[in-house]
A and B are shown apart, each in its own frame.
Chain A
């Protein structure tokens, strides 16, 4: 399995806070990599650094032979690495359809075609019925899915997903898991998933990356990571 994304010594500081400490790891093509860690571990910061929303102080992010560091976000995103945000970011006064259409503009010259492609995408995510509703009028969970749909429309090779299951009930979580697995397997999107819902994450991830205080403390298969003493300690304090 080839590495589709390779982080090399990514370091991030905010004033006195050392948010990411020399983070290095590889993401294998086609995998679902779960990202866990207590609050403040640097998970979202890591995603922001990869895509360029908040560029890191130093380090490299290798993707298809290019270093993503230093590139503008919209470049990174159209090159193939997309991201959703922890706090749901949608275009509130736009229709659900247009929310997604914005992202398809890159791949379709005509607005008409972009909207068609968007409608298609909405069907995959179960939002087609709300295509003409304004994004501010749908539920939070739907908006979360909408943001995901928008990111997927970009046809990224790698998708960074930040807490998309917050607020979903059991049934919705299962639906989402199915969709994510489908996106990964059938549409060839490598996923990095930050999620607090452990059960869900362990279910679909091929590997798990564990962060604590900005450092990588584990990167292995779910069963191994969940019993790793460092990981347990990070979440629960000293392991029993």
Chain B
């Protein structure tokens, strides 16, 4: 987002004025601080757990948004990276007694490879093919996870054994350490998203989002740019999945490669604002506690109601406020800081 200058703009250096940079950073810093202090004043373990989920899925959604919001490439299969990261941890820890910290890079590596494989054919085609390809990919991983019992124990799932508490095993007596770790992940992913936003890559992705054909005429290598975003995204989401597995201490194909996960990543981004690096995190912060509350109060047939409301929310947002809360904040911000220059329509003498 940039601030329109008035006629006869002062000579700024080559960076366009970005009025929204500072407030966003400040708010983020405050939020992160609150997160780290949370376990001190949140005595209810359940609440700490919810915050941990917010961090995990917030990070994943931020990662998703690098493709979805920045470049308009909707991935419906990001749960694949999530599941890969998760399975890496449980397989490493349960079968080979290796620390999750070793599993995470392995998960990332596999995710990156998968990202390359899915991106290579689909990025060269129109956007619809990407959505379809990622959707199919998710289905396939689901099937494979169910069938490859030697690796994943199939639909029965893998439970992690109770090991010595400590950071090496990522098993603890209380919920706080995992909150810190997931908060750290969230911060890292936010930093990455912000960096991309204001980098060369961010400019290219924006061009791709706004007008792919013009971008290509401007010399942008669409495939390369999208692939870079995809790979960064895959790394973030994979790590989030890994932390999730450590939180649950259990994993099965349903949980790892859930259609709901894919939807949630997109939903959080839409609600919070897909045009902002912090948008998805905001969405996660608002919706996850809501979802938890819903799953407690709505049971039986009514459980479906929660999902239904998600769906309805998604549709309504798209129709009414596709930029989400971030978009609303943009409008407010512009109202307060910008006077749209009516003199920018030139006369014939404008050189």
Contact = CB atoms under 8 A, between A and B. Distances in A.
Interface of A: 51, 53, 72-74, 77-78, 82-85, 89-95, 97-98, 101-103, 105-106, 110-112, 114-116, 118-119, 126, 129-134, 137-139, 142, 147, 150-151, 154, 169, 171-172, 175
A73 B212 CA distance: 11
A14 to B, nearest CB: 17
Contacts of B222: 74
Interface string B11-32: 0101111000000000000000
7 contacts: A77-B216, A82-B217, A98-B16, A102-B219, A103-B219, A105-B204, A130-B344
Given A91-B214, A102-B215, A126-B350, A114 B4 contact: no
B168 to A, nearest CB: 41
Would you call the interface of chain B mostly helix, strand, loop, or mixed?
loop
Contacts of A138: 344-345
A115 B348 contact: no
A133 B213 CA distance: 22
A237 B302 CA distance: 74
Given A95-B2, A126-B351, A131-B16, A53 B213 contact: yes
B218 interface: yes
A102 B218 contact: yes
Contacts of A151: 217-218
Contacts of A72: 216, 221
B4 A132 contact: yes
Contact of B214 (A90, A111, A169): A90
A164 to B, nearest CB: 14
Query: Interface residues of B toward A: which range?
Result: 35 or more
A150 B341 CA distance: 23
Contact of B14 (A77, A84, A102, A116): A116
A85 B217 contact: yes
Interface in B101-155: none
B14 A119 contact: yes
B211 interface: yes
Contacts of B214: 85, 89-91, 147
B47 interface: no
Interface of B: 2-5, 7-9, 12, 14-17, 198-200, 203-204, 206-207, 210-211, 213-222, 340-341, 344-346, 348-351
Contacts of A147: 214
Contacts of B3: 132
B9 A111 contact: no
B218 A103 contact: yes
Contacts of B216: 53, 72-74, 77
A101 B2 contact: no
Contacts of A83: 217
A129 B8 contact: yes
Contacts of B7: 129
Contact of B211 (A89, A115, A131): A89
Contacts of A102: 203-204, 207, 215, 218-220
A105 B220 CA distance: 8
Nearest to A126: B351
Contacts of A175: 351
Contacts of B210: 91-94
Contact of B218 (A51, A131, A150, A171): A150
Given A94-B207, A111-B203, A133-B344, A77 B2 contact: no
A97 B8 contact: no
B219 to A, nearest CB: 5
A147 B215 CA distance: 11
B221 A74 contact: yes
A89 B14 contact: no
A91 B9 CA distance: 21
Contacts of A132: 2-5, 9, 12, 16-17
B207 A91 contact: yes
Contacts of B14: 97, 112, 115-116, 118-119
A134 B210 CA distance: 13
Contact of A77 (B15, B211, B218): B218
Contacts of B200: 105, 110-111, 114
Given A101-B203, A102-B207, A133-B4, A95 B16 contact: yes
Nearest to A83: B217
Contacts of A73: 216-217
Contacts of B215: 91, 102
Contacts of A84: 217
Contact of A134 (B4, B8, B204, B345): B4
Contacts of B213: 53, 85, 89
